[in-house]
Structure 1
Amino acid sequence: MNDAIKHSHVEVNGVRLHVAEQGEGPLVLLLHGFPESWHSWRHQFAPLAAAGYRVVAPDQRGYARSEQPERVDAYSLLHLVGDVTALIGALGEERAVVVGHDWGAPVAWATAALRPDLVRGVAGLSVPPLPSGPRPLRESRENFGEGFYQIYFQEPGRADAELAADVKSSFRRILGGGLLREGKPQPWVVPEGKALLDTIPEPAQLPAWLTEADIDALAADYALHGEHAFTGGLNWYRNIDRNAELMAAFDGVTIDVPALYVAGEQDMVNALVPPAVLAHLLSRVPKLHRHVRLPDTGHWTQQERPAEVNEALLDFLKHLDA
């Protein structure tokens, strides 16, 4: 087993991606979300590597140490799935277990649905398999208003500048803040006349699972893109309607590889996806091994509850190997 995390770059589909890697054995790909990087999987590397797996976490396109294509339409879901499939081959492997959190989860689910020949198993953290209905942003406006964060992100340059103005403060607020009202998760909505970060005060103290060293590591990697530190990740949101159009041909396709779904009970996603809708979405996953619900856990699943997430992942990997 490799005892330390190694860092390198791999070119896939004309985009240079940074990857962090540890261990030897069957490949497990870990896909982060917004606004994160490979660092969000820091607690998963050693346990999975010690169990006999080759663990690889890329900075996905547009993020941290990876290259940031200029065109907004270069961040569609099909581009992102293409990066994963190309990365498996570039790493010299034929198949992988693909694990995704937040935005990484839709990429993982879609990769499993479209390329089951490459995916031994798939795990989604926080975000379930999402439907590919028409014009999802219109539906978001109707349900949550013009201030809903995914709508707010659509204007080029607006959220980009606000988040990049003080990168460390942005991370403290988004990761270390919270979107709870009376102890319950709520949608992220920006009131009219307010700025994005006005809705999340900077915490007086970081939560126990997040340190200043973590903030420094994220900020240093994001600073490589200067005033566009967050633009790559925001461009993923700017493809939401485009993704619905591109994925329409695959509407109704099931995810036919073994799967795992893990979510925190205090995750904001619970405010966006009612239980009946979640049950319907998970019906698209006929080989669902487990649906794990973590109490007192917010959106940053694998960072907040690393022991429980690692236990669930190792149980799933053991199931696959059996």
Structure 2
Amino acid sequence: MTAPRRIATFDHDGLVFDVRDTGPLDGDVVVLLHGFPQTGASWADTAALLHQRGYRTIVPDQRGYSPRARPRGRFAYRSSRLVADTVALIDTLGTGPVHLVGHDWGAVAAWSTAARRPDLVTSLTTVSVPHPGAFLRAMLGSDQLVRSYYMFLFQLPWLPELAIRSRPRVLERTLAGTGMTPAQIDQVRQDIVRGGALTGGLNWYRAMVFNHPAALRARVTVPTTHVWSDGDTALSRRSAELAGQYVDAAYRLEILSGVSHWVPEEAATTLAAIIDRTATDAASRPV
């Protein structure tokens, strides 16, 4: 294995992805995948705390968000391409298996990557969004369907973008209702709406119809922790409770009290400790 080197970008599918590579260069690698409607900047607080624990963090701006990685059309955002992006990033690092962490849509990509390429993942920590199979089952047996109403609205072409750009106060009230702070909302305006990433982010939702049904049954075979917060307006407790049924390895469910959906920023200290514990436990298990 060659000596580790910093990366600022990686290439895949003819696209160029921006990457934040920080922390001790010789530390164990934690890859942090962001969700909607945010960029990798949402991981800043958690990453800084992981650096204090000796980890090197790799935080990409994902497909649809990096300015040079915004393909047209929703088909380009199907799950297989998101997994392939993550695999390309890990291969670019050349460090071997990583500790993989994802929040929101980043959690979906992380679940799928761990299921399809367990050889590249030492441990998995997912935040807010459970395994796709658990999410679907929760929609059929809890209030998850009602909580997910916006996902159906996002399927419409161009109308969500028009509504968000023409009625900014509606966006502000909606995000504030989920627990976002004014500073976070300003970041969404700057990075996503004004920054040109809105359609790319929405295309993750629009590509759901192209995802293979096998993803709903895919098993994860690496040590996993799922994190759910009881102030999450988008994800039900039932979805979190079902997630472990798709893991054939050491598994832990962590429930955070009084925390909104935006866990990486609102509960960074707790989340960094959870990631560290999951990584440490996985590394100490016999091969």
Within the candidate set 238, 257, 276, 1:314 is matched to 276
Equivalent pair of 1:12/1:90 in contact (CA under 8 Å): no
1:156-305 equivalence runs, <5 A: 156-165=157-166, 172-178=172-178, 210=181, 212=183, 214-222=184-192, 223-225=194-196, 229-243=197-211, 246=212, 248-249=213-214, 251-271=216-236, 275=238, 278-305=240-267
Runs of 4+ residues over 6 Å off in structure 1: 136-140
Q: CA deviation at 1:49?
A: 1.6
SS at match of 1:238: helix
Whether contact under 8 Å (1:77, 1:107) holds in the other structure is: yes
Matched, 1:58 2:20: no
Task: Give the one of 67, 86, 104 matched to 1:102.
Answer: 104
Q: Displacement of 1:118 after TM fit?
A: 0.7
TM-score by length of 2: 0.84
* Partner Cα distance (1:132, 1:302) in 2: 22
The alpha-carbon distance between structure 1 residues 56 and 138, as it changes in their structure 2 partners (threshold 3 A), is same
Q: CA 1:260/1:143 → structure 2, altered by over 3 Å: closer, same or farther?
A: closer
Per-residue CA deviations over 1:35-63 (Å, capped at 9, x if unaligned) read 01111101112111222221011111001
What is the deviation of 1:66?
5.0
Q: Alpha carbons of 1:7 and 1:65: their partners in 2 closer, same or farther (altered >3 Å)?
A: farther
SS in 2 for 1:117: helix
Q: Which among 69, 82, 85 is matched to residue 84 of structure 2?
A: 82
Task: Give the number of equivalent residue pairs.
Answer: 274
C-alpha distance in 2, partners of 1:121/1:113? Answer: 11
State the SS of the aligned residue for 1:46.
helix
Whether contact under 8 Å (1:175, 1:300) holds in the other structure is no
Contact 2:129–2:235, Cα closer than 8 Å, also in 1: no
In the other structure, the counterpart of 1:194 is none
Deviations along 1:55-87, one digit per CA (max 9) or x if unpaired, are 011111001545210121000011000000001
Asked which structure has the greater RCO (Cα within 8 Å, sep 6+), the reply is 2
Please list the CA deviations of residues 141-191 of structure 1 after superposition, one character each: whole Å capped at 9, or x if unmatched: x9549x921111111101112223466x57643443338xxxxxxxxxxxx
What letter matches 2:154 in structure 1? F
Please give the secondary structure, in 1, of the residue aligned with 2:50.
helix
Structure with a larger share of its residues in helix: 2
Q: 2:16 aligns to what SS in structure 1?
A: strand
2: distance between equivalents of 1:115 and 1:172? 38
Q: Is the 8 A contact 1:137 1:241 kept in 2?
A: no
Distance change in 2, residues 1:7/1:159 (3 Å):
farther
In 2, Cα distance between the equivalents of 1:232 and 1:53?
30
Q: 1:306 to 1:129 in 2, by over 3 A?
A: same
CA deviations 1:184-206 (Å, max 9, x no partner) are xxxxxxxxxxxxxxxxxxxxxxx
Cα-to-partner distance string for 1:105-138 (whole Å, 9 max, x where unaligned): 111000000000111111110011121999x999
Partner secondary structure for residue 99 of structure 1: strand
TM-score by length of 1: 0.76
CA displacement at 1:33 relative to structure 2: 0.7
Unmatched 5+ stretches in structure 2 = 1-5
Q: Does 1:36 align with 2:38?
A: yes
1:163–1:230 CA contact under 8 A, matched in 2: no
Q: Which residue of 2 aligns with 1:91?
A: 93
- Report the equivalent of 2:3: none
Please say if residues 49 and 272 of structure 2, whose CA atoms lie closer than 8 Å, have aligned partners that are also in contact.
yes
2:57 partner SS: strand
Give the secondary structure class of the aligned counterpart of 1:10. Answer: strand
C-alpha RMSD of the superposition:
3.0
Tell me the percent identity: 32
> Structure 1 residues 170 and 61, CA, compared in 2 at 3 Å: closer, same or farther?
farther
Distance 1:176-1:143 versus aligned 2 partners, 3 A rule: closer
Per-residue CA shift, 1:6-48, capped at 9, x if unaligned? Answer: 9833222221111112112222110111101111101112111
1:183 is matched with: none
Contact 1:98 1:119 in 2 (8 A): yes
